[in-house]
Every structure is written in C-alpha cells, then in structure tokens.
Amino acid sequence: MLCRGRWRRLALPPAPGPGPRRAGSGAAPAAGYEVVVIGGGHAGTEAAAAAARGGARTLLLTHKIGTIGQLSCNPSFGGIGKGHLVREVDALDGLCGRVCDLAGVHYKVLNRCKGPAVWGLRAQVDRGLYRDNMRKEILNTPLLTVHEASVEDLLLTEPEPDHPGKCRVRGVVLGDGSTVHTGSVILTTGTFLRGMIHVGLEKHPAGRLGDQPSIGLAQTLERLGFAVGRLKTGTPPRLAKDTIDFSGLEERTADNPPVPFSFLSKAVWIKPENQLSCYLTYTNPKTQQIVQDNLHLNNHVRETTKGPRYCPSLEAKVLRFPNREHQVWLEPEGLESNVIYPQGLSMTLPPELQEQVIISIRGLEKAKMLQPGYGVQYDYLDPRQLTASLESRLVQRLFFAGQINGTTGYEEAAAQGVIAGINACLRVRGKPPFIVSRTEGYIGVLIDDLTTLGTNEPYRMFTSRVEFRMSLRPDNADARLTHRGFEEAGCVSQQRYEQAVKMKAALEDGIAALKSLQFSVSKWSQLIPEVRLSSSRRSPMSAFDILQYPEANMEILARAIPEPLRKFAKWRELSERLKIEAAYEWCVVNQQEEIEEVRQDEALQLPEDLDYFAIDASLSTEVREKLSSNRPQTIGAVSRIPGITPAAIVNLLRFVKNKHRKAEKLKAFPQTDKYLPGKMYSEKAASQTQISAELSEEEPESTFVKTPV
C-alpha cells in the first residue's frame, strides 16, 4: 500500500555547537533539502545519516518507515571480508556496527585460525532489536527528515558546464505527483526496480515479500539511457524453533568474550553467557531427490538470470554438486523469537515441496514452516556508469548505492551508502569528492571493482579481492579512515575523531618504545623464559621483534621490563593492537614485494593451450572459469578480468614462472614420451576446498575456514 503525502517531520533543527562536525557552510539549494535519499534499506539509511552528519539538510524517502533497519534475509552481520566493511563503515561513523553491538545474540570471529588481517567479525543479531535500534538512530539524527512515499520519477535540468553528464538532477517526483527539490539525489532501491518474486511456478511483482516493486523509477533510468541488467537472489523458509529437535545436532557456541564491531563500544549489550547457540545439520539423498524430481515446478531456478555465487540456492547446489551433503545452519532470529533461519536452505520450490525438503533433514523431521522461501529477480545498474564517488556519469548529482549497483549483502550496501552520502553532501557544497583508494580500505576495493570492472553476478566482498590485506585489517580501520572522515568529509563526530587520534598516538609511542628496547637473545631468554626464542639469532632483538612470537604479549613484556612498558600494557585494546602491528610488520614488507613481482611480470606470456581447470595452482573455480572463458594472453591482461583476485594473479604468475623454469630445464635433457611439449597440465583437478567454496558463503580462495557461524 502506498502511503502518500503523510509527512512526518522527524528531524531535529540543525544542532549548533557540539555534535557532528559540519563540512563547510556552502549555500543551500533554493528549496528545502540539499540531499534526497531514495530507499530506507542498508544503503539508504547509511547514506542519509552520512549526508546529515556531514551537515546537509537531508530527506530520506522510503516506501515504509517501518522497514528501516529491516534485514530482508539472514539475521546476521559481518563475516569474512564483510566484517572489514562494517569496521570501515564504523570508522566513518556509520551506523550498522554500533547497532550490531546493541542487537547481537551470538558474536563470533571467523577465521580465528588465521591471522587477524583476515579475521571475520560476525554477529547473529536479534531481528527486532536491530530494526528498532536502527530506526531510533535514524529518527534521532540531526538534520535528517524521514518521509514515507514512493518516488516515481526524477526532475532534471540543464547540466553544469564544468562536469560530465547530459543533464543534472534537481529533484524527485513522488507517487502523489508532488515534487521535492534538492541539490543531490541518492538512489538506493535495492531489489525493488522491477522486482519480481518467484515461488514454484508462481510469480508476482514485488521488491521483496510484502513490498511493492519500483516500476516508475526503473522506467526513468531506462529513458535516461542507463545500461541495466537483471540479477536474482533468494531467501530460505523460516522455521518454528519449538518444533525442531536440536538434541542430535552439532552445537556452535558463541565467543566469550564477544568482540564488538564498533570502535566506540567497549563491550556489546548482551552478557556473554546469555548468547544463543547455532546448530548444524545436513541435507541428504532424500532432500536431493525431492529437489531433482521437482525442477520442472521451479521457475526461478530454470531462469538464466544470475544469482549469488557464494550464497547459492539449495537447488543450485544440488544441480551443481549432486550426491553431496550440504550444510544447513540453524540460526536464531532473536533472543525471544521462536523463528529459526536455516542458512543454506534458500529455495524457490512450491511451498508444499519446501515442507517436504525441510522434514527430510535430520532434526527438522517435525519442523513447522512459518514462511516459505522465495526468490526475487530485479533490475540493477551497470556500475561502470558511476565514478569512484558513486555519482552517475550520465546524470550529474545523481548517486547510486547498494544492491542497485549489482552487489549482494547488507555490508556491501552500507559501505556504498556511507560513501554516496558523504559525496552527495560534498557535491552540493562544491567540494572535492571523498574517494577511498584500494590501498586504504575494503570500501575502496569494492567501489573500484564495481566502477571499473562492473559485475554480471551479485558481487560479494571477500578478503581475497584485496591486494593490501595485510595492512587493511579490521583492527586498524580507524587509523586508516577516521581522520579523513573528520577532516575531509565532516561526517565523523569530534568524540570519535579524538579517540582515534589518541589511539594512533599511543600506538606510535608504543611501537617506538618497543623498538628502542634491544637485547641479545640470551638476555631476552633470561627476562622472559616463558617465550621460546630462536637461539641461532646473533644480532640483538627488540621488544617489538619479541612481540611477534605467538606466546609473547605486552603483559609478559611489561612484567619483565615495567619501565616504560607497563603503561602500554595496562591499556588492553592498545596491547592487542601492538601485538597485531608486530605480527604484521614483516608481512606488509612481503606484500609490497608480491605487488612488485606482479608489476614486473605484467608482460609475461601465458601459454595458449593452458587448461585452467586442470592446472595445479591455488585458484577458485570462479577464477578458473573466468580465465578459461577470457583466455588472457599476459599476466597484465589477467589482472584486468573482472573478479580475478589479486591472490589468484600471484598464484597463477608463480605457477607459470615455475612451469617456464621446468620447461627450460627439460630442454637441457633428452625428452621422454611422458613430456608433451607446450602442454601444461596436472593430474589434480579443482580441489575439494575450491569446490566447497562455491557451495557456501565462504572465502573463494583455498584459505577459508569451515565454520560459518
């Protein structure tokens, strides 16, 4: 139902004095708002809040205020790569990290077995608490007004001569025909553009279950000449918790203590011991049979539109990897909620068949389905039509953020939202855009991938997409971004800025103090016998070197050398960060060498008959497919293929160089009949890990961990 003309003035008047720092004081546009945001999803809320924090009078227009903070699919935030995005959004004073710290019911750091650079902060959140806290944040943001309305069209005018673009946006037209004038517009309509929901053979127009699609705006974009494509996604059925038998299932408990998302949170809201568990069960041959026997009743699966590769439907998994057990994680939707989200069971079979699938699974034999799973297909914009500030190249001052740009996931949407919000605000003030580079943040990688390479399947963030992942860690997002957010974008509060400055100074002091303490190995062995040191080292070692040893920490060092280390060790957060800095010092140097290696070998020729599915290099199936269909001639050309990860480039480069070396050696010896000149191959096909990565939400490289909770 459209809710027209029901204006709710929910903003406070501009707040002078303390509070968010203002980014300059340029003239406001003629009418009312400087920035209008269309859509109250994850991109829209972050965009509106960032623009308002930056000092712009902002209007958020959305179909239903009640859906602000709504999690359309899984009730969880973060994960591998995505956790980095949440931390970076938080470093720019975005909302989702703080709200997760007020709503989580199960916090878990994924990838713990690896280094902190790729730790994936994740939280299972209480759906209701997340929504309520997000709404509270939005409705209490100074300078931000929220209004329930459907935007049907854009108001356009002559372009500004000094910018590219064939016209300029100057406002929006609402469903009731009224207009709102503004300096910039941000479009964040998610899956709503010509959204079409599919269940079995039935389909009906909708942006997501229970919400109307957005047709008028889709037509506007088409009329303006934007290139759009079609993507799909899906969600699993929901189950009644009290009908599930958890007794025989594998339990996964939460972390104790839980790690907060936000740099501002000392702790999360829930007591560690009150956190809820998740449970693991599996599909079986009977489940597979039901899916296979009924493919003809499943339109969504038969359509050729592309869905999310790393969060595939049950049908896609069964078709692609038959005769396997597939994981199903039973995740609680909230502290008091009786709803369970079965992650891994996304499907679009007719509801009665979904029920059969459910009861075929161990522990779910008597489970009651509360809501069937469904699929949604929607228009998305080719993001190559955007600049790095997320402004359209075609229509000036029109910004796009979130799923409309071809991404999937709340975190990807939120990250784009913050950047679009900042830039829409800077644009009306005539200030330079705020760009995060690939060397500065995962946000930079995400936006650079989208705007330079585009995407033809729902894009998801992974650590393996990032070249500089040793330095772009979740622990140091504030050091990378907060000062820029404060000084250039004006979207960071004074309190956060001061906290980040204090931490940065303390880190620098701590590192200097640790480096200045130099002793021989034997002296260190006397001082800290609990740390086993390599006795072969002749040169003196600094306390910073010592901190790299797994058993070493600031507490041990401060016990041995109280002056000057005690004051650093007393600050728990600082101690942890010093340890991480020490552990990564050499990795950062190595990383620079890898980058240099690829740069130097850009012209290296790749054999034309290389069988990418067979070669014994650590490459995901996605990368193998892309290499095989693109057939690049050089390493440089590989790096320009959309979706090829930096790690994959290095692995391929090393494989090819190794083969070249072996071929050179062989030339020096008589050839045996086993050697096939010019053909590089290996007995090993894509490894089990690579196949598994396709089946789950996990990292596409061979380095992922198994536990998704």
Interface ranges with ligand FAD (CB under 6 A)? 38-44, 61-63, 67, 72-73, 150-151, 188-192, 207-208, 211, 214, 217, 233-235, 311, 376, 402-403, 408-410, 413
Q: Where are the alpha helices (DSSP H) in 174-308?
A: 216-224, 285-293, 299-302
- Closest to ligand FAD by CB, 408 vs 463, is 408
Smallest separation, CB 370 to ligand FAD (Å): 16
Smallest separation, CB 586 to ligand FAD (Å): 34
- Closest to ligand FAD by CB, 100 vs 376, is 376
With a CB cutoff of 8 Å and minimum separation 6, the contacts of 278 are 106, 124, 251, 252, 329, 330, 331, 332, 709
Cα separation, 40 vs 8, whole angstroms: 15
- Closest to ligand FAD by CB, 95 vs 413, is 413
Smallest separation, CB 353 to ligand FAD (Å): 18
- Closest to ligand FAD by CB, 152 vs 581, is 152
Smallest separation, CB 51 to ligand FAD (Å): 15
Smallest separation, CB 634 to ligand FAD (Å): 34
Q: For residue 389, give the nearest of 363, 354, 367, 419 by alpha carbon.
A: 419
Smallest separation, CB 410 to ligand FAD (Å): 5
Cα separation, 643 vs 461, whole angstroms: 11
- ∠ CA 248-251-256, nearest 5°, is 160
- Closest to ligand FAD by CB, 39 vs 116, is 39
Tokens of 577: 């960060």
Cα separation, 70 vs 40, whole angstroms: 9
Smallest separation, CB 30 to ligand FAD (Å): 23
Question: For residues 376 and 308, is the Cβ–Cβ distance under 8 A?
Answer: no
- Closest to ligand FAD by CB, 71 vs 428, is 71
What is the full DSSP assignment across 394-442?
A: SEETEEE-SGGGTB-SHHHHHHHHHHHHHHHHHHHTTPPP----TTT-H
Smallest separation, CB 165 to ligand FAD (Å): 22
- Closest to ligand FAD by CB, 67 vs 476, is 67
- Closest to ligand FAD by CB, 36 vs 290, is 36
Cα separation, 326 vs 538, whole angstroms: 53
Question: For residues 445 and 51, is the Cβ–Cβ distance under 8 A?
Answer: no
Smallest separation, CB 343 to ligand FAD (Å): 8
What is the full DSSP assignment across 181-220?
A: EEEEEEE--TT-BT-EEEETTEEEE-SBTTB--B-HHHHH
For the chain, what's the residue count? 709
- Closest to ligand FAD by CB, 3 vs 604, is 3
Tokens of 411: 């975190």
